[in-house]
Structure 1
Amino acid sequence: MASGFIKTKDGTEIFYKDWGPKDAQPIVFHHGWPLSADDWDAQMLFFLANGYRTVAHDRRGHGRSTQVDTGNDMDHYAADASAVVEHLDLRNAVHIGHSTGGGEVARYVARYGQPQGRVAKAVLVSSVPPLMLKTPNNPGGTPLSVFDGFRAALAANRAQFYRDVASGPFYGFNRPDAKVSQGVIDNWWRQGMMGGAIAQYEGIKAFSETDQTDDLKAMAVPTLILQGDDDQIVPYKDASMLQVKLVQNGTLKIYKGYPHGMLTTHADVINPDLLAFVKG
């Protein structure tokens, strides 16, 4: 099947896509908040054209997966990803995560992928680990008030909030020299509104308050870390610059002027870099 659903131990149905030759090396994609597997279209088509098997799933509560009111946390995100991998029996896989999906990759690799011997490499793109929230031990983090603002805006008018995020900081469309794409904005909004409000509301806590320092330290597979220095969502100095110091075998690349959503706005640059890492 090119797509389908798997049911997790708690009864949640997780939607997945599985494209390409089943005997080819699998590339597994983990999307950001509050999106879906559709956010990886540019990468899935690119890797498919290069002969790889491409797999992506909708996180619980997002996209076409069940709109659950429980388990909206990083532990369940990683367990759900593992359930998809085990169902498809993926081996020697490269796991690529964006933003919240990068946190999902880190926890998946540390708790499932490496112990099971299923993961070959990992990529963290504009990713949230080790910890987004500002704390005494993480003084460079983002204040809690910012995330409280996200929750308040989502609860008050989710549709407008998602318009504002997509048309502003996510893709850097609020910059004076930005080349704005209405189609990209509409697609972000479409994906966000497909998911459940409660899962996305609770997901803010999951991506901002989960300390993944130990997950990163446990990652022994070759890990590529990519981020733009104009990321207005996840500050790179508190994310990628710390990630490369914590993983055991990391390579860091910072893109000057690129936004948080650079996988979409600069796919022509990022995709060949991903392919070179996968092949290397």
Structure 2
Amino acid sequence: MSFITTSDGVQIFYKDWGSKEAQPIVFHHGWPLSSDDWDAQMLFFLNKGFRVIAHDRRGHGRSAQVGDGHDMDHYAADIAALVEYLDLKNAIHIGHSTGGGEVARYVARYGQPQKRVAKAVLISAVPPLMLKTEHSVEGTPIELLNELRDALAANRAQFFLDVPTGPFYGFNRSGAQVSEGTIRNWWRQGSMGGAKAHYDGIRAFSETDQTEDLKAITLPTLVLQGDDDQVVPYRNAAILQHQLLQNSVLKIYPGYSHGMHTTHADIINSDILAFIVG
């Protein structure tokens, strides 16, 4: 198993597959999952000749279950440490949900200024601000976010069944093709991580204003989201991302859920590939 240790002493687990001479693609997972959430993408792009890399965010998966640093600043700094350790250049960074926020902060603060990034992809991503405010009226009410925190603290095991069974993959929709394996895999990944990281992570993904991160990014960025995303409202996410980014391509998928990179991996992978090589 491969780990790096950050400047504040946190062990971060990562996978690194493929030729070191190939163009690298770095995957950033969503809350409360792990690098395993990218299996379908990593195998696909590895077979297309890319070097594929994914990490477990601090407190998640196989990384250290530390009690602090569960915020976008630390998430981005941890990735910067990994990228520098592996000396990645001309990289594609792909983030889903919370991982999309991590990508935005990393690219704006580290990757773009250091000229290590070629392109970025945001999938069902949380920026610019998930929380409902007077300036973000289509955001998620704080009361709902507090309910998530309460459910996690009360019975994390049950909560981590309820989320994938319901809104995450749209399995609560009439006629949905429910995958029991997908539900169990979500639960498995979440249960590997630490409760403190997951609890604090709710604030990180929902209350972090990343408007300035998006405005700062000038490199080509692909923005993807489903219009039936029940976790992150697309009008408050993908639409605004496209407006704030200086060089973006937007694609909205009719009827797709928050976890569309899993339920429709073949389509999402093909669209990302076309963007990378185009």
TM category, shorter: over 0.9
**Aligned with 1:253 (options 237, 245, 251):** 251
**Aligned with 2:133 (options 132, 135, 146):** 135
Superposed CA deviations along residues 21-71 of structure 1, whole A, max 9, x for unmatched, are: 100000000000000000000000000000000000000000000001110
Distance 1:139 1:235 in 2: 11
Residue 11 (structure 1) aligns with: 9
**Aligned with 2:105 (options 104, 107, 118):** 107
Residue 178 (structure 1) aligns with: 176
Q: CA deviation at 1:193?
A: 0.3
After TM superposition, list the pairs within 5 Å mapping 1:10-29 onto structure 2. Answer: 10-29=8-27
Superposed CA deviations along residues 49-99 of structure 1, whole A, max 9, x for unmatched, are: 000000000000000000011100000000001111111000000000000
Residue 163 (structure 2) aligns with: 165
SS in 2 for 1:221: coil
Residue 191 (structure 1) aligns with: 189
Superposed CA deviations along residues 81-118 of structure 1, whole A, max 9, x for unmatched, are: 11111110000000000000000000000000001000
* 1:39 equivalent in alignment to 2:13: no
After TM superposition, list the pairs within 5 Å mapping 1:265-276 onto structure 2. Answer: 265-276=263-274
**Structure 1: runs of 5+ lacking an equivalent:** none
**Aligned with 1:66 (options 47, 64, 67):** 64
Residue 74 (structure 2) aligns with: 76
SS in 1 for 2:112: helix
Q: CA deviation at 1:268?
A: 1.1
Following TM superposition, where does structure 1 have runs of at least 4 consecutive aligned residues deviating by more than 3 angstroms?
A: none
Residue 84 (structure 2) aligns with: 86
SS in 2 for 1:116: coil
Q: Structure 2 length normalisation: TM-score?
A: 0.99
Distance 1:63 1:142 in 2: 26
Distance 1:247 1:268 in 2: 26
**Aligned with 1:48 (options 32, 46, 49):** 46
Distance 1:192 1:54 in 2: 22
Residue 204 (structure 1) aligns with: 202
Query: What RMSD, in angstroms, separates the aligned Cα atoms of the two structures?
Result: 0.5
Percentage identity across paired residues of the two chains: 72
SS in 2 for 1:115: coil
* 1:227 equivalent in alignment to 2:235: no
Q: CA deviation at 1:136?
A: 1.3
Q: How many correspondences in the alignment?
A: 278
Distance 2:195 2:215 in 1: 33
Q: Structure 1 length normalisation: TM-score?
A: 0.99
User: 2:79 corresponds to which letter in structure 1?
Assistant: A
Q: CA deviation at 1:19?
A: 0.2
Superposed CA deviations along residues 222-275 of structure 1, whole A, max 9, x for unmatched, are: 000000000000000000000000001000000000000000000011100010
SS in 1 for 2:54: strand
Residue 116 (structure 1) aligns with: 114
Q: CA deviation at 1:139?
A: 1.4
User: 1:97 corresponds to which letter in structure 2?
Assistant: G
